[in-house]
Amino acid sequence: MKRYSILRWTMVVNALFITFASHAQHPSTTPVGDLLEDIVVNNDMNGLVDKPSFEEELEALASLRRAPLNLNTATREELERFPFLSDLQIERLLAYVYLHGPMVTLHELQLVEEMDRRTIDLLLPFVRVAPAGDTAPFRWKELLKNTAKHGKHEATTRLDIPLYRRKGYEQAYLGSPVYNSARYAFHYSDRVYASLVAEKDAGEPFAARHNRKGYDHYSFSLLLRQCGRLKALAAGNYRMSFGQGLVLSTDYLMGGHLYATSLSARAGGIKKHSSTDEYNYFRGLAATVSLGTRWEASAFYSRRRMDGTLEGDRLTAIYTTGLHRSEKEAGKRGAFALTLAGGNVAYRQNRLKLGVTAIYYTFGRAYAPKLSGYSLYDMHGGKFYNVGLDYAYRLGRFAFQGETAKGLRGWASLNRLHYTPAQGTTLTLIHRYYAYDYWAMFARSFAQGSATRNERGWYVGVDTSPLRHWNFLASLDLFAFPWKKYRVSKPSNGMDGMAQATFTPRQGLTMQLRYRYRRKERDLTADDAKLTLPTHQHQLRYRLTYSPCALLGSRTTADYNQFGQPTRRTSRGYQLSELITLTFASLHLAADLQGSYFHTDGYDSRVYLSEPGLLYTFSAPMLQGRGFRLSTRLRYEPGARWTLLAKLGHTIYSDRTEIGSGNDLIAGNTKGDVQLQIRFRF
């Protein structure tokens, strides 16, 4: 260990007198929670087909909270797991520990160059400082011994009980309206993960009909990490992301628009899949091996049955919801087998990184969806491939990232330039070009649309903290769609601009004001003629978060939405919500109470309410019309092993006598749900 200089100790003592805002924050009102909420809402408004559950992301954050990363021994790869850390901040953090020796306190983060207060607030819950100790060479025998002796087990079950009845249960749905999932997970340090997940969605039968084996969905995952030259080995179900996601990505954060300036897009490599997501994963084997100090190679193989619609020997549609409630839905189950194989080779030397990703996949039968109108250039055929070259380079305060990819049809390219002119300020420029006929089934990257194709555009953003208590975020995205889209019968264009100010005057108090304007085009039928006219959407949000002490926390949110199109009546909507969080440490009990009033003219002016959810879940219900939404969550932890949660949500509409339509129709104007969850660690 290096000797600490008198100057270093003086700096550390001075840092102890600087207050951190995040220490008094409640889990329900953290900056990370706000960030995930914005990404979920943004993805939903952009029309993503596979709505993200964020189970994996939230579980990873929960694991880091329980076992925070030691900054004194952290590697570059481990720090890159935090998307809010820039490459420059990671380099400065590693250099600080190397030059000054191990940190004594987390307050030293303020002494690291390029570390601003907002980034520190995001990082603090997931890191710690401890003596570095000696690093012994890796041995498989020691790993197996320590895994059996020091491994941690966790069993979780969840039950959702609706306090209403949908029309589909009269005839169509085959099972009970109760949702149930069970999950067993095992992990040792950050090296060994194993999980078994079982799930039955509401309306699906249990141990009957097409589910003779009990649950409707089972998932097994095993992941080994950092075992000598073996960087990762996955068996069973797993996830993958490489490059900028133009070839292969299961990372939901890659599509985020609001925080493209302040979030770094990095490949996640091979990851475990331990969530209840029934679509966004692979099944088989995957491995990453180090070929030296600069090279590493990954290879993967996956084969799994997937849902779809068959007409003879042809596959005409791929079904992504994972629901098998009715005979019709059950008939789509396991209709075809998706086989995928590929690999990635990556090279890294100091500030340069290069990678090549290639995949080949087939459905085992001809894929022949209906091709007409906006879907004329959708992928079709029997065998497909994608190959992409990703690259990254950093020079001083400039950082460049990008990827260019080719498919069986079309090509795509995404390039990012980040510039940090001063500490606490980042400028970002992103250019993307996705051909209208680029076929890439597993691509997910920065985009306004619901797929990584038929789009081109420029994004510019700035994230700055010029004053101690202030943070400003502004962005402008100019985009165009070269071919038709859903509800747009010709090539179109638009813009998406956002300005946000966050003020943190003191510990536990944060105020945020955001304005967002979006312009897109949409078809309008008038006088028996179809016109394509621009739509204008304005969104305004004010949020006040206050945590005066460890006992009490509150969050006040006010939203206003306005949607307009020529010749049509302007649609407006607003919502007011108040969240109160109470933590009784002596009773091992925490309670969240939230009440909301919403009033919207229709779907286009809909609002989203962020609520505290169960473990590894994120709740942001979408509401339209007029009414009240009330929710309460209780969390009881009688000891280190047990966690019990209960949540009650109730929505009361004042403008209707029934809710929903079709099989989802609910008679009456109220909708309530009870959710129960138990977790046991041993």
The tens digit of pLDDT for each residue in 465-483 reads 888 889 999 999 999 999 9
Rounded distance between C-alpha atoms, residue 272 and residue 221, angstroms: 6
Mean pLDDT (whole number) for 197-212: 94
Q: How far apart are CA 210 and CA 217, in angstroms?
A: 11
What is d(CA 47, CA 26) in angstroms, rounded to the nearest whole number? 31
If DSSP codes are grouped into helix, strand and coil, which group holds residue 144? helix
Going from N- to C-terminal start, the domains of the chain cover 1-138, 548-682
Instruction: Provide the pLDDT for residue 9.
Output: 44
Asked whether residue 520 carries a pLDDT value surpassing 60, the answer given is yes
Q: What is the DSSP string of 609-629?
A: --B--STT--B--EE-SEEEE
Please give the Cα distance from 160 to 180 (Å, whole number): 7
pLDDT in tens, 395-427: 989 999 999 999 999 999 999 999 999 888 999
At 66-98, the pLDDT tens digits run: 778 899 988 888 888 887 888 888 888 999 998
CB 302 within 8 A of CB 282: yes
Q: What is the DSSP letter of 664?
A: G
Model pLDDT for residues 318-358, shown as the tens digit of each residue: 999 999 999 999 999 999 999 999 999 999 988 899 999 99
285 pLDDT more than 90: yes
pLDDT at 15: 39
Question: Percentage of the chain with pLDDT > 90?
Answer: 63
Q: Which residue has the higher pLDDT, 238 or 107?
A: 238
Quote the pLDDT of residue 318: 95
Structure tokens at 621: 């219900």
d(CA 225, CA 147): 13
Q: In the predicted model, what is the mean pLDDT of the chain? A: 87
The answer to whether the CB of 112 falls within 8 A of the CB of 96 is yes
Residues contacting 37, CB < 8 A, separation 6+: 608, 610, 618, 620
Q: How large is the average pLDDT for residues 112-119?
A: 84
Residue 49, pLDDT > 50, answer: no
**Interval 495-501 mean pLDDT:** 95
Q: Is 315 exposed, middle or buried (0-12, 13-18, 19+ CB in 10 A)?
A: buried
Residue 396 tokens read as 């001083």
Better-scored residue on pLDDT, 431 or 449: 431
> CA-CA distance, 169 to 189, in Å (whole number)?
45
Q: Give the whole-number percent of the chain exceeding pLDDT 70.
A: 89
What is the per-residue DSSP string for 557-578?
Answer: EEEEEEEE-TTSPPEEEEEEEE
Q: What is the pTM of this model?
A: 0.88
The residues facing 487 across adjacent strands are none
Q: What is the pLDDT of residue 2?
A: 43
pLDDT band at 537 (very low <50, low <70, confident <90, very high): very high
Rounded CA-CA distance 369/439 in Å is: 14
Q: Which two tokens stand for residue 84?
A: 């809010």
- What's the pLDDT band for 3 if we cut at 50, 70, 90? very low
Which structure tokens are listed for 465?
């903290």
In the predicted structure, residue 153 carries a pLDDT above the cut 70: yes
Residue 352 is predicted with a pLDDT of: 94
Which phi and psi angles does 97 have, rounded to 5°?
Answer: -65, -40
d(CA 244, CA 413) in angstroms, rounded, equals 9
Local confidence band at 678 (pLDDT 50, 70, 90 cut-offs): very high
Maximal C-alpha separation, the chain? 82
Arithmetic mean of pLDDT, 489-502: 94
DSSP 485: B
Instruction: Report which of residues 250 and 602 the model is more confident about.
Output: 602
Which one, of 85, 391, 383, 423, lies nearest residue 262 by Cα?
Answer: 85
pLDDT band at 17 (very low <50, low <70, confident <90, very high): very low
- Distance, in Å, from the CA atom of 222 to the CA atom of 229, rounded to the nearest integer, reads 18
53 is written with which tokens? Answer: 């559950």
